Amino acid sequence: MQDDTVRIDTGRVRGVVKGDHVLFQGIPYAAPPKGELRWSAPQRPASWAGVRDATRPGNPCPQVGSSYSDTKATDEDCLVLNVVTPKTKSAPKPVMVWLHGDGAVGAGHFFDGSRLAAQGDVVVVTLNYRLGVFGGFGLPGLAGSGTFGLQDQRAALEWVRRNAEAFGGDPGNVTLFGVSYGATSVAAHLVSPPSHGLFHRAVMHSGFALVDLPAESWYPGLGALPWLGWRERTEVEGSGRAVAAELGCADLACLRALPAERLLDHPQVMNIFQPFGYDELPPDLLAAGRFARVPVLAGATKDEHRNIVDIFRGEVTADGYPRLLAAAFGDRAAEVAAEYPLADFATPNLAWAQVLTDRVWARATFRQHQLLSAHTTTYAFEFADPGATEQGATHSSDIDYLFPSDGRRSPLSDQLIGYWTNFARSGDPNGDPNGTVLPRWPTFHEGHVQSLAPDAIGNVDYATTHRLAFWSGK
């Protein structure tokens, strides 16, 4: 392996050449949000003398881990990003900026962008942003309440605009893409004027910009939520005031003086503050057409809720299924049970998961396509590889095909990388890069949702598959 050194606006950084790509890790894009900068807008990072080592990842942002993530972290010096660029030098390349999901756990370096960069001839940027209480906290009078993680992402985009050329990237051709909470973040940037002009294309995997939740559809005991991804700013500030009192603090200075570990010890504090706080809710802005007019590629997976049911609820019994339907749908529960009878499914878990895949995810995703395509070029997809996981094409299972973690290469992975990098290059996923055959992908405006499955890429009757006529108004 060889070193590769480039100069950015804060100094020189040294990455490492690995075969067909060059990797830089742990580059600060903002100052550490500690002390007075905790719950403040991100500030420009300090410059350095000499050459900064960028061959190892930086700190993940503070997080407590979960049943599906072992990562625990407490260091707030975490606003760093990673850059992967092809080894070959040519004309300025498209830049793809990745926002990881969850909102309470994760880090940019968990996603290996080397194949995406080298095979697609693009520059890939992954980043860390403030999570949970550190990213979404609010108090009355606190500027930016509920949006600090979003502001971090915007700061990273500003860093890309300043520094993309140093890595062979084109700052005038940036694609913002993300999954789950990261995809919802992309929607937030679409409707946030301060972010406009910092990216030129948008990709959303299984976002919940328009998702509402019936009761019991996520955690046991969770009531119905009008939106999964958004909360009114006043609600965020009220939650913050309550948590501050529980932590024994009467003002912001006291809260900023608490160790990160103390905040992380608060029951469920990472999850309370995940949703963004807004004065005008993004679903209303999307419906009004008040968003950036950039080409969009968006979709969901065919079996979205299967792993969510297993992770957050566990076993659903035959006796429990009608009780869940009653809690979620009230006097319409019998109608839903008749449409999704247990006899049609191998297990009650699969029945409940299909109900929620169709009602929660497919309905909202299709509506999102309709709102976006009314104003901008929109390509819609459904990831449908039944072998993606043991449970099928579940939530986030498509991401391994863009960021293969073990070096595996498959025809479907090649095709997804081809489509996505074509889109990053021109705003159109069509074309046959590097000999990879890509079936034609019409826009959603033409009524098309592209099913992505091994040897079965083409149109899917999404509305019929997910019974959207049945769910209209429910």
**Reported confidence tier of residue 185, pLDDT bands at 50, 70, 90:** very high
Burial class (CB in 10 A: 0-12, 13-18, 19+), 144: middle
For residue 271, give the 3-state DSSP assignment. helix
Nearest CA among 317, 395, 328, 381 for reference residue 351: 317
Place of tokens 């769910």: 471
> CA 241 to CA 272: how far, in whole Å?
12
Q: Which alpha helices (H) appear in 232-360, and where do they start and end? A: 233-246, 252-257, 260-265, 269-272, 282-287, 305-312, 320-329, 333-339, 348-356
Instruction: Decide if 158 contacts 460 (C-beta within 8 A).
Output: no
**Residue 66 in this model has a pLDDT that exceeds 90:** no
Q: Write down the pLDDT at residue 433.
A: 85
Q: What is the mean pLDDT of residues 327-349?
A: 98
The token pair at 313 is 């609820």
pLDDT in tens, 229-263: 898 899 999 999 999 999 999 999 999 999 999 99
Full residue range of the structural domain in which residue 319 is found: 2-471
Helix axes 148-163, 181-190, angle to 10 degrees: 70
Average pLDDT value for the chain: 94
DSSP secondary structure letter of residue 205: E
> CA 152 to CA 156: how far, in whole Å?
6
**Residue 90 in this model has a pLDDT that exceeds 90:** no
Instruction: Decide if 459 contacts 450 (C-beta within 8 A).
Output: yes
Q: What share of the chain is helix, strand, coil (3-state, %, to 5)?
A: 40, 20, 45
pLDDT in tens, 416-444: 999 999 999 999 999 988 778 899 999 99
Q: Write down the pLDDT at residue 274.
A: 66
- Tell which wins on pLDDT, 66 or 10: 10
Q: Write down the pLDDT at residue 86.
A: 96
**Reported confidence tier of residue 386, pLDDT bands at 50, 70, 90:** very high
Nearest CA among 126, 177, 133, 120 for reference residue 38: 133
Structural domains of the chain, count = 1
Q: What is the mean pLDDT of residues 401-425?
A: 91
User: For position 21, which CATH number holds?
Assistant: 3.40.50.1820
Instruction: Tell me the one-letter amino acid at 397.
Output: S
**Residue 270 in this model has a pLDDT that exceeds 60:** no
Burial class (CB in 10 A: 0-12, 13-18, 19+), 193: exposed
**Residue 275 in this model has a pLDDT that exceeds 70:** no
Name the strand (E) or helix (H) holding 171: strand 169-179
> CA 329 to CA 333: how far, in whole Å?
5
For residues 219-229, one letter each, b for 16 or more C-beta atoms within 10 angstroms of the residue's C-beta and e for the rest, the string is eeeeeebebbb
For residues 97-110, one letter each, b for 16 or more C-beta atoms within 10 angstroms of the residue's C-beta and e for the rest, the string is bbbbbbbbbbbbbb
**Reported confidence tier of residue 400, pLDDT bands at 50, 70, 90:** very high
> CA 153 to CA 357: how far, in whole Å?
29
DSSP secondary structure letter of residue 357: I
pTM score, whole prediction: 0.96
3-state secondary structure 22-57: EEEEEEECCCCCCHHHCCCCCCCCCCCCCEEECCCC
Burial class (CB in 10 A: 0-12, 13-18, 19+), 307: buried
Q: Write down the pLDDT at residue 413.
A: 96
pLDDT in tens, 71-84: 889 999 999 999 99
> CA 199 to CA 176: how far, in whole Å?
6
Instruction: Decide if 298 contacts 376 (C-beta within 8 A).
Output: no
**Residue 269 in this model has a pLDDT that exceeds 80:** no
Q: Which alpha helices (H) appear in 357-410, and where do they start and end? A: 363-373, 399-402
Q: Write down the pLDDT at residue 265.
A: 86
User: Angle at CA 290, nearest 5°, toward 288 and 292?
Assistant: 145
Q: Report DSSP letters for 324-354, one per residue.
A: HHHHHHGGGHHHHHHHS-GGGSSSHHHHHHH
Name the strand (E) or helix (H) holding 81: strand 80-86
Instruction: Decide if 290 contacts 196 (C-beta within 8 A).
Output: no
> CA 221 to CA 379: how far, in whole Å?
37
